[in-house]
Amino acid sequence: MNDLSEEMRMPSPCPECGSHRVRLSQVHNPEDKVFCSSCNTQRGLYSDLKRELIESPKSTKEALIEEAANKKS
């Protein structure tokens, strides 16, 4: 297959199937749509994906646990 697309792993799971894998164009335009690689649900735009990768290196669940722990102490 040579369709100029690549797969990446998102910190957050797909709301439909729970997969962390997404498929996107290798061109990496900020307006490119990013799709779940399992069920093809649109996960957002490449600019959103990039922001999420920068802001949430951990999974959302881990971040919530950490946030709760920080509030206690």
Residues forming contacts to Zn ion in the complex (CB under 5 A) are: 14, 16-17, 19, 36, 38-39, 41
- Which of 19, 56 has the CB closer to Zn ion? 19
The least CB distance from residue 25 to Zn ion, in Å, is: 18
The least CB distance from residue 44 to Zn ion, in Å, is: 13
Give the whole-angstrom CA distance, residue 33 versus residue 47.
Answer: 9
The least CB distance from residue 13 to Zn ion, in Å, is: 8
Q: Where are the alpha helices (DSSP H) in the chain?
A: 46-55, 60-72
Give the number of other Cβ atoms within 10 Å of residue 48's Cβ. 14
